[in-house]
Structure 1
Amino acid sequence: MSRWFKRVALLITITLALGACSRMGLAYRNLDVIIPWTLSDYLDMNGEQKGWFNERLKEHLSWHCTTQLPGYLDWLDRLQVMVETNQVTDDALKARTLEAKQAIAQTAKEITPSAIELLQGLDDQQVAEMNDAFAKDQRKRQEEYLKPSLDQQIKDRGERMDKRLNDWLGPLSASQQQRVTAWSKALGDQNQQWIANRVHWQKQFSAAVAQRQSPEFPQRIEMLLVNRESLWTPAYRQAYANTEAQARGLLVDLMAESTPDQRQRLLRKIEGVRKDFNDLKCLKAVKQG
């Protein structure tokens, strides 16, 4: 995974205020992670499937770079202006979050036909292996995020956020660290709702793939990959709304307390992401054209 992908994924993650609760990100070489599951994590493709997939991925990457990346640069500009003018407000974060979600949904919609075609070509053994991988994923996440006591979950969540923020803002002040702790406490048992919803989604996905030759399969997969929010459990829908609201509040408060050095560090990080985008050959070709 490229260095710039990790940086952009983290930038989007922080802006979306999802912390460790989601893998949403903007990918390029690993475009398949734009959807909530990674093909290589769950499917053991044969040689023919890998060859077909790689060719499709090249086409999607070309589309992504030429049609989507210019919009990401505009998005970074708006983010930069927010920081420069000290206008990191709840409304502004809502707007940036909505724009990022729309970009992710557009890319997910673009690559969904390829995902459908690949899934329709799976044999029964591959489907069984995919379901086993889902079960393994569930056990791993339950072990990491649910087995610890609630107090430990809150502590771990705060430490993960503190580490991310240190990378983007530099060392936090004592009051900023206290605000991160308060944010983590406010999320409570969010881990429980997140993982329960993930299991709920995986079960629906497995049930759809089991009927992969049915006429309704393409529509069902598009719903699962592009319109997945419509399939959330009621408990997770409520928890997710709270997660976003709490994290917007956290970012607004942290930036209100930020020092000039912290803001300059954040601006340098944003500029670094912009430079990584601009250095891509495909984007240069678009600009020259």
Structure 2
Amino acid sequence: MDASQKAHLVRKFEKNNEDFRDKYLDLTLEKQAKARFKKVEKQADDWLGSVSRTQEAIIARYLEKHPPNYAQWLEDSIARQRAVLQLLTQIQNEKPSRDVAQAMVQRAILANYEPSEQTAQRTQAEASRVSIQQLMTDIIRTSSQEQKAHAHKKLQGLIDDCKYLIARK
């Protein structure tokens, strides 16, 4: 990656962060709640088809109990962006072989999935995972046969895509 590509990436990160601020942080709490509800409902619609009134109520109760922390999300995103830029700089400076660079990138990606060493963040992340799992369980538990069939078709499509990509390799 040359300097202009890296500069482009920096501009892209800055634009994404600004878009996030505009879309989430600069809204009133009421507008944030509506936008978040729409986002979760759209995700459920994507997996299940049309969401029922019961499922809408489940989503609304969940969102009420678990307010977003958009400022923390943005801060975490910026930290990941910095790590990417630092890794790019390290690779540019050290000029490792392709295999070594690939291993460095893979380690960096996997590091994002490892539990945080900071106890407060780890506790918060685990509580978030548990609450999202409960939301998903509640929505699936109340799903109709048509919704289950829709979800099955969607999952089968993803499985077929993976099989196709594996076969091409």
Q: TM-score range by the shorter chain?
A: 0.7 to 0.9
* RMSD between aligned residues: 3.2
The higher relative CO (CA closer than 8 Å, separation ≥ 6) is in: 2
Structure 1 runs of 4+ with >6 Å offset: none
Letter in 1 for 2:111: N
CA shift, 1:224, in A, is 2.4
Q: 1:214 aligns with which of 77, 86, 94?
A: 94
Q: 1:225 aligns to what? A: 109
Q: Alignment identity in percent? A: 19
Q: 1:248 aligns with which of 124, 133, 137?
A: 133
Distance 2:72 2:148 in 1: 34
Contact 1:166 1:172 in 2 (8 A): yes
Change (3 A) 1:204 1:269: closer
Distance 1:174 1:240 in 2: 29
Letter in 1 for 2:12: A
Q: 2:24 aligns to what? A: 145
Contact 2:115 2:122 in 1 (8 A): no
Distance 2:76 2:23 in 1: 16
Letter in 2 for 1:214: E
Please list the CA deviations of residues 220-260 of structure 1 after superposition, one character each: whole Å capped at 9, or x if unmatched: 64442221245958465444323321211011111222222
Unmatched 5+ stretches in structure 2: none
Change (3 A) 1:275 1:215: closer
Please list the CA deviations of residues 154-203 of structure 1 after superposition, one character each: whole Å capped at 9, or x if unmatched: 22111112122223323333221111112223331332222110101112
Q: 2:60 aligns with which of 181, 186, 190?
A: 181
Unmatched 5+ stretches in structure 1: 1-121
Q: 1:155 aligns with which of 34, 40, 45?
A: 34
